[in-house]
Amino acid sequence: MPTPRFTFHQPQNLEQALDLVGMYRTNGKILAGGTDLVPKLRAGLMDVHHVVSLNRVPGLNRITFHEDDGLVIGAGARLADVALNPEVMKHYPGLAHACSVMATTQIRNMGTVAGNIVNSAPSADTAAPLLAYKAAVILVERGGRRHVPLTEFFSGPGLNVMEPMEIMEAIRVPSPPRRSGSAYLRLSARSKVDIAAVGVAGFLALDMDGVIIEARLALAAVAPTPLRCPEAEAMLAGQKPDPQLLTRAAAACVRACRPIDDVRATAAYRRKMVQVLAGRVIEQCYQTAERGDA
Amino acid sequence: MAKQLIELIVNGDRYEVAVEPGASLAEVLREELYLTGTKVGCNQGDCGACTVLVDGRSVSSCLTLAVEAHQREVTTIEGLAPSGETLHPLQEAFIEKGAVQCGFCSAGMILAAKALLDRNPAPSPEEIRHGLSGNLCRCTGYVKIVEAIQAASLKLAAGKEAR
């Protein structure tokens, strides 16, 4: 394999990184974990003259949680660190699960959650739980910073609303209320390594009587982008789940998806699995939420 | 696009190497430092044959740019038995249990296993399988590999108690 040719930059702080990204916005790429970018670079698939690494920028790999502010996942935080973070495991089990089952140990030690989002694959495993947790991303450029809700971030397979001179600095996830529960379930032909064929994430918040106050459901790998299911969410709000409601809400999730046939699964199988997994996710969220104050 | 001078700390030894920015750590280990114990299978991060430890964590060296490993501590299979005479308990266990068939995956398997045992000294067979999920063996000798890692974990635990 011929060695790809580019100039490699290792900025020591965010300002330097932003300068470089601004300067090389037409033919540069940002490198964090590198697990998606490096194979593409090495296969000569990209016309890239400059690579700007974020790995020497201090503070980017932080993972912090406060009851009031919620969770902040820095752009450099590795999947493995997010998966094993005690606060993430406690308050965001769907995200912890996604980060612990995707890819392989080696890839999870290298790859970042931010990279998984920026890469914007329809099957991005962290996207569905982050959508269900109502996450937003923080994008910075020289002289500006904006928060973009994840629901407005993806624009197509591998596409998103980031400008070429922007860097994703962090992902913010609000703190879950006391009586709430969440989950992520995914299917792939192989249990490890393989990309998800279907992913369903959920979040439910309950009032003291066990009535659902707020429901959020999100799907991955069944549409051009990861997406939420507003119709199903509206059906669940104000209700207590029963088997008929679960079936109807799961069917609404199926209506939200636009799957394709590919090597991992047929569109028809994906629809069936959305029905099954959505039902299970809602049930699992409800049971955890009922158990109390987690 | 000139070569870049980097410093690698491999198995405790310091090396200064001039590398192409696009060169993978696996290439530099094998072709510049002649540490050919690290194998390259798929060269795209799926097979785990190129697994090395960087600052103690298992990574795919084919997906790691060598320039990114500048001043980091890299452990390769050669680093597990520095004298070449006394083998690491994991290596001994692989031999005793017959966990080596063609041997191509062994270096990556053993380093993935070392990263696992460093974090979890007494893993269950299930945890071992999970820990090795990024390492493929085309001879499909997984049963013996799992047994070897269990045996090594017992041996390492006994060694710690004896001390």
Residue A144 pLDDT: 94
Helix/strand/coil (H/E/C) assignment for every residue in A154-223 = EEECCEECCCCCCEEEEEEECCCCCCEEEEEEEECCCCCCCCCCEEEEEEEEECCCCCEEEEEEEEECCC
Class of domain B89-162 (CATH, top level):
mainly alpha
Fold assignment, A63-173: 3.30.465
Closest-approach residue (CA) in chain B for A41:
B22
Alpha-carbon span A242 to A245, nearest angstrom:
5
Q: Indicate the CATH number for domain B4-80.
A: 3.10.20.30
Closest-approach residue (CA) in chain B for A38:
B63
- B132 pLDDT band, cuts 50/70/90, is very high
Condensed to tens digits (0 to 9), the pLDDT of residues A92-113 reads 999 999 999 999 999 999 999 9
Across the interface, which of A7, A31, A107 has its CB nearest the CB of B45?
A107
Q: Does position A285 have pLDDT exceeding 70, yes or no? A: yes
Are the CB atoms for A184 and A127 separated by under 8 Å?
no
Alpha-carbon span B20 to B3, nearest angstrom:
5
Across the interface, which of B20, B45, B132 has its CB nearest the CB of A35?
B45
Residue A192 pLDDT: 63
Q: Tell me the mean pLDDT in the region B82-103.
A: 93
Contact B22 A41 (CB under 8 A): yes
Domains A63-173 and A180-290 share a fold: no
Q: Does B75 touch chain A (CB under 8 A)?
A: no
Looking at domain A180-290, what is its CATH homologous superfamily? CO dehydrogenase flavoprotein, C-terminal domain (3.30.390.50)
3-state secondary structure of B94: helix
Domains B4-80 and B89-162 share a fold: no
Domain positions in chain B: 4-80, 89-162
Across the interface, which of A3, A10, A192 has its CB nearest the CB of B22?
A3
Residue A294 pLDDT: 45
Q: Does position B1 have pLDDT exceeding 70, yes or no? A: no
Domain positions in chain A: 7-52, 63-173, 180-290
